[in-house]
Structures are given as C-alpha cells and as structure tokens.
Amino acid sequence: MNQPFSLRVDELPKGGRKIINFVVVTPTTKALVETQIFANDKSLNAEAMEELILCVMNEFSFEPFLLVGITRDNASYMVKAQAALKQFDEYAHVLSVSCLSHYL
C-alpha cells in the first residue's frame, strides 16, 4: 500500500469466543478485512493485541510510516496495546482514536 491508511480494530463476542476484526481504510476505499478468532476471553490481553496488530501490518506489508491512526474501543487491553505500539519509533506518530459509538 502506498497511500496513508488507518486501521480499525474491533472485537465482538460470539458463542463464548471473541472475533477480532481488522479493517484497513484508505482515503479512497476500505482495502482489507483480516479476522482473528480467539478461543476465549482470557487469551485477549494487551500483549496479544499488540502482536496481532504487528502481524497484520507485516503480513500485508503495510508501511508503518503510512499508518495515520488506529480506531479502537475502550477496552483496557486495547488502550495498553496501542500505548505499547507507540514505544516503537516507527509507530510513535500513530493517532489513537476511540470509537465514538462505544461512548454512546
């Protein structure tokens, strides 16, 4: 991908599992959806989410300097995962955006 993009990360419970959706959005279109399924809620933590975000970035060869922001919910592990990503120089510029609908 050679244009700026944002990453939307959201999870939803389904049958005792969590489904994690990653949606990459460019100025012109939604480019990709990558879904991960976890066996149970206990496997979701900040380290696991940080690793998943990095895996999606690497798997699809997305350039970190083109990542503008990550939209996420307010789960504590999501907030911690994004804070941990910002410790890497190549992700220090990435905006952390809470999903407005999670406040309603």
| pLDDT tens digits along 79-93 | 999 999 999 999 999
Burial, 94: exposed, middle or buried (Cβ in 10 Å; 0-12, 13-18, 19+)?
buried
Q: Structure pTM?
A: 0.83
Q: Is 5-102 a domain of CATH 3.60.90.10?
A: no
**For residue 39, what pLDDT is reported?**
59
**For residue 23, what pLDDT is reported?**
86
pLDDT tens column, 15-63: 777 888 888 888 887 667 777 777 566 678 899 889 989 988 898 888 9
3-state helix, strand, coil in the chain (%, to 5): 35, 35, 30
